């Protein structure tokens, strides 16, 4: 059974289930945007619009949770017939959640990944010719410090800055900056100025991810991206002189 004292499955508006965390008093996805839809439009599609031509794509999925961002990546990769090799690394603090994912009701789009879901849930690793997935059961802050200039894509999908501030601070994004390639791309649902400032203070360029049928989100990169509308951070800061990024 998936539901326990900490987690409860909840139907979201695109028809896919997400979960509610009693510990964090927050859903794992926006119930309004829908779990699968949110994962695709706020993370996978914007990132892959820039990276899909690469032979190998290395992804940091912060944090694994129900695994939607990882699984939606496989789904996008398969439905777009991409030939790139995927390597996905994902920290997750909640070991009992990961173990319980074999009982989670995933959308039909993920049915073909049942063996992958089982392997990841039971052993923390899945590998075949094209895909490598590795879950790290522990603190994302510690995990990120291990890498230097490795990731093409970072899905920044922690619980909200007010609920889980340690994964949104200036110091945290400093470690993320060290772990992402110079032409890497970070995606996040957060549009708060404090989050964008924490990224900007670490020399990320900030872009708006806006589209039909979902709330605005953010794309960031150490490089200039021509395909997204830039957020004029100097102007935003001038209009909000008291804004501060979160700090450790």
Ligand X SMILES: C[S@@+](CC[C@H](N)C(=O)[O-])C[C@H]1O[C@@H](n2cnc3c(N)ncnc32)[C@H](O)[C@@H]1O
Which residues 176-205 are close enough to bind ligand X by CB under 6 A? none
Q: Which is nearer to ligand X, 78 or 205 (CB)?
A: 78
Does the footprint of ligand X cover residue 39 (CB under 6 A)? yes
HSE of 14, CA atoms in CB hemisphere, 13 A: 20
Enter the DSSP assignment of 28: S
Beta pairing, strands 17-21 & 7-11: antiparallel
Q: How far is the CB of 152 from ligand X (least distance, A)?
A: 18
Does the footprint of ligand X cover residue 152 (CB under 6 A)? no
Q: How far is CA 218 from the centre of its chain?
A: 11
Q: Which stretch binds ligand X (CB under 6 A): 47-55, 59-67, 178-186, 232-240?
A: 59-67
Q: How far is the CB of 233 from ligand X (least distance, A)?
A: 25
Q: Which is nearer to ligand X, 72 or 231 (CB)?
A: 72
Q: How far is the CB of 110 from ligand X (least distance, A)?
A: 11
Does the footprint of ligand X cover residue 28 (CB under 6 A)? yes
Q: Which is nearer to ligand X, 114 or 240 (CB)?
A: 114
Does the footprint of ligand X cover residue 94 (CB under 6 A)? yes
Alpha helices in the chain (DSSP H): 35-38, 45-51, 68-79, 95-100, 114-123, 140-144, 170-179, 193-200, 233-239
Cβ atoms 165, 244 nearer than 8 A: no
Enter the DSSP assignment of 108: G
Across the beta sheet with 229-230, the strand order is 125-127, 131-137, 85-92, 56-62, 151-156, 180-188, 217-221, 205-209, 229-230
Q: In whole angstroms, give the CA distance from residue 184 to residue 51.
A: 8
Q: Which stretch binds ligand X (CB under 6 A): 110-118, 135-143, 195-203, 235-243?
A: 135-143
* Of positions 9, 93, 233, 237, contacts ligand X by CB under 6 A: 93
* Of positions 36, 44, 50, 68, contacts ligand X by CB under 6 A: 68
Q: Which is nearer to ligand X, 133 or 158 (CB)?
A: 158
Residues that bind ligand X in the complex, under the rule CB under 6 A: 28, 39, 63, 65-69, 91-94, 97, 139-141, 157-159, 164, 167
């Amino acid at each position: 059974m998936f539901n326990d004292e900490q987690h409860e499955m909840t139907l979201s508006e695109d028809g896919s289930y997400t979960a509610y965390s009693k510990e964090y008093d927050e859903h794992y996805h926006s119930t309004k945007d829908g779990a699968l839809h949110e994962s695709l439009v706020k993370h996978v599609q914007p990132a892959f619009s820039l990276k899909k031509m690469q032979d190998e794509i290395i992804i940091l999925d912060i944090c694994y949770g129900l695994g939607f961002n990882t699984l939606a990546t496989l789904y996008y990769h398969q439905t777009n017939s991409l030939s790139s090799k995927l390597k996905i690394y994902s920290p997750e603090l909640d070991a009992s959640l990961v173990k319980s994912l074999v009982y989670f009701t995933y959308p039909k789009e993920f049915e073909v990944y049942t063996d992958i879901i089982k392997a990841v849930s039971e052993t923390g690793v899945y590998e075949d010719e094209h895909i490598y997935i590795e879950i790290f059961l522990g603190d994302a802050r510690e995990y990120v410090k291990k890498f230097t200039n490795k990731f093409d894509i970072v899905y920044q999908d922690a619980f909200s800055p007010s609920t889980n501030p340690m994964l949104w601070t200036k110091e945290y994004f400093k470690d993320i900056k060290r772990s992402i390639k110079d032409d890497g791309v970070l995606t996040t649902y957060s549009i708060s100025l404090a989050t964008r400032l924490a990224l900007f203070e670490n020399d990320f360029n900030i872009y708006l991810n806006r589209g039909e049928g979902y709330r605005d989100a953010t794309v960031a990169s150490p490089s200039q991206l021509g395909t997204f509308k830039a957020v004029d951070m100097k102007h935003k800061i001038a209009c909000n002189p008291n804004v501060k990024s979160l700090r450790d």
